[in-house]
Structure 1
Amino acid sequence: MRSGKIAPAYYIYGDEAYWHDRLISLLSDAFPDGTEHVSGDETTWQELQELLAQPSFFGPRLWVVRGAKHLFDQKPETWHISVAPGNCLLLSAITKNNPAPKALTQAISNAGGVVIKVAEPSWREAANWVRERLRSDGYTITRDAVETLILVAGRSIERLDKEIEKLELFVHPDNRITADHVLTVVAPDPQMNTFAFVDAVATRDRVKAFSEVEELVTRGVSPIFMIAVLGSHFGLMWRAKESSNKGITQDSLGKALGVHPYAARKALEQSRRWTFSQLEKAMRLLCHVDESLKTGKMDPVSSMDYVLVNLFA
C-alpha cells in the first residue's frame, strides 16, 4: 500500500480494533475525495456489488463496511465479487474468530484482494511495538517501563497507543519514560490489573489479597476469571521452582518456561514462599472451585472468600 499499489478489496478481522482503524485511515488517505462509510446492517451484498462494479465518474471511490459480520449473516446465493478499476472495498469485522464464509474469502483472493487477521500481540511483539512507536515520536523508554506498561495496560495495541499518548504529554519536554512515569500516568486495564491481586496471594499478603478481591468484584471481574489467573500463576510458580531445583539459571528461566524473563524471575521469587506440597494443594483447591462455579454448586459471591481462607490456612 505504501508503494502506491492498492488491492481492489480488503477484508480485515480480529479483535484488535487499533489495526482496523489504522487500515481504514490509510486507505481513506488514498481516497481523499471518494470514501463512503456504511454499516454491515444497513446494506446488502447485492447493493455493494452494484456500486463496486460501476466505474465512478467522479474519480476513485473507496467503500468501507464496518460491522461486516452483519453483512455475512445475509447469506446471498453467491459471494462473487467484481470491482471496477479505481474502486476499492474494505470489509471490517472486529471479532475474535473469522465470521466470513469461506466462499467470500476465496472470492476476495480470486479478485486480487487481501485477507488480514489481526489479534492481540505476544509480549515480545507488544514490547517491540511500544519501543518503535515511541522512537518514531522521538522518545525512549526504559526496559522496566516497557514491562510495567504492558503488565498494567495489557497487550492491546489500541490501549497501549492511548496510554503512550498520555505518557508523552506527561514527560514533555523530557523524552525519556521510566517505570515511575508509567505507574503515575497509566490507567490499569480492569482484567489485566489482576496482577496486583495475584501478587498479594503469591506473597501471602492476606490483607491486601482480600482488599484486591473486593476491588475486582466491584469492577465486575468474574470469580471464574480470577480463579483462572490464580491457577495459571500457581502453575508457573511450580514450574519455576522445579526448574530452579534442576539447575536452570535465572537468565535462562524465561526461555525454559516460555514466558517473559521478568515474569519468570518474579514467579521464582514468589515460589520460595511455598513448598511443593502447598503449591499442589493450592492448585487442587482452585480446580475444585472452578468446577463448582461452572456447575453452579458454589455461590460466585462467596467463592473468592472461600479460596483465600483456604489458601492462607
Structure 2
Amino acid sequence: MGADDVSAVTGQLRPLALYELTDQIGQRRLPAALQTLGLLLNQGASPLALLGALGNHFRRLIRARECQPLQASVVQERLGLHPFAARKLAEQAKSFSPRRLRQCLAAVRRTDEALKGAVPLEARLAIERLVLAVCG
C-alpha cells in the first residue's frame, strides 16, 4: 500500500508539492498526474505557474537526456543538481526519447499560447490536456 492508496481512502491530508506532479509526469503515470494536477488546481495553484514548472522540468529532462552516458553522476555534474534530484532526473529522462521530449516542450509552448487570456475553466482544461499529451 502506497501513499496514493492511503490518500484515496483517507482524503488529502496535506498540501501537495509541485515536485509530485513533475515526478508523476516524468514517470509517465497519467492517472496519478491527473489526480495531482486536479488537487493542485483545487488548492489554488495557478495554471500559469504549473505550466512554467512543467516547461522547466522538460527543459531539464532535455539537458539530462543530452548527457552521455546518461547516468546520475554525469547529470549531477553537468546540471549542478543534488545527487537525489540528479538520480530522479536521469531515470525520468530515460523514459523519453529526445524527439518525444522536444514534442513535449512544444506542447508546453502551445499550451502557454492557449492560456493567454483564457478564462479559468479554459485554463484548467488546457493544462489537463497538456498532461494527457505529455504522459501519453
- Structure-1-length-normalised TM-score: 0.36
* Cα drift, residue 241 of structure 1: 1.4
Q: Say if 1:218 and 1:296 are closer, same or farther in 2 by CA, change over 3 A.
A: closer
Please say which structure displays the higher CA radius of gyration: 1
**Kept after mapping to 2: 8 A contact 1:255/1:261:** no
- Structure-2-length-normalised TM-score: 0.79
Spell out, residue by residue over 1:193-228, the C-alpha distance to the aligned partner (whole angstroms, 9 max, x if none). Answer: 011111111101111011101100110001111111
Secondary structure of the structure 2 residue equivalent to 1:220: coil
2:133 aligned partner: 310
Q: Tell me which of the two structures has the higher relative contact order, counting C-alpha pairs closer than 8 angstroms and 6 or more residues apart.
A: 2
Instruction: Supply the AA of the counterpart residue of 1:201.
Output: I
Report the Cα distance in structure 1 between the residues aligned to 2:63 and 2:43, rounded to whole angstroms. 31
1:220 aligned partner: 44
* Cα drift, residue 276 of structure 1: 0.7
Aligned length: 123
**Structure 2: where are the runs of 5+ without partners?**
1-12
Percent of aligned positions that are identical: 24
Spell out, residue by residue over 1:69-125, the C-alpha distance to the aligned partner (whole angstroms, 9 max, x if none). Answer: xxxxxxxxxxxxxxxxxxxxxxxxxxxxxxxxxxxxxxxxxxxxxxxxxxxxxxxxx
Give the number of the structure whose residues are more often strand, by fraction. 1
**Structure 1: where are the runs of 5+ without partners?**
1-186
Q: Give the 5 Å matches for 1:116-265.
A: 193-243=17-67, 245=68, 247=69, 250-265=72-87
1:293 corresponds, among 111, 115, 121, to 115
**Kept after mapping to 1: 8 A contact 2:114/2:126:** no
Report the Cα distance in structure 1 between the residues aligned to 2:27 and 2:36, rounded to whole angstroms. 13
2:88 aligned partner: 266
Report the Cα distance in structure 1 between the residues aligned to 2:92 and 2:71, rounded to whole angstroms. 16
Instruction: Supply the AA of the counterpart residue of 2:131.
Output: L
* Cα drift, residue 253 of structure 1: 2.4
Report the Cα distance in structure 1 between the residues aligned to 2:70 and 2:53, rounded to whole angstroms. 25
Q: Say if 1:249 and 1:306 are closer, same or farther in 2 by CA, change over 3 A.
A: closer
Q: CA RMSD in A?
A: 2.2
Spell out, residue by residue over 1:236-281, the C-alpha distance to the aligned partner (whole angstroms, 9 max, x if none). Answer: 11111111x3x37532421311222221111110111111111000
Report the Cα distance in structure 2 between the residues aligned to 1:248 and 1:278, rounded to whole angstroms. 16
Report the Cα distance in structure 2 between the residues aligned to 1:200 and 1:253, rounded to whole angstroms. 20
Instruction: Supply the AA of the counterpart residue of 1:251.
Output: S
Secondary structure of the structure 2 residue equivalent to 1:236: helix
1:182 aligned partner: none
Give the number of the structure whose residues are more often helix, by fraction. 2
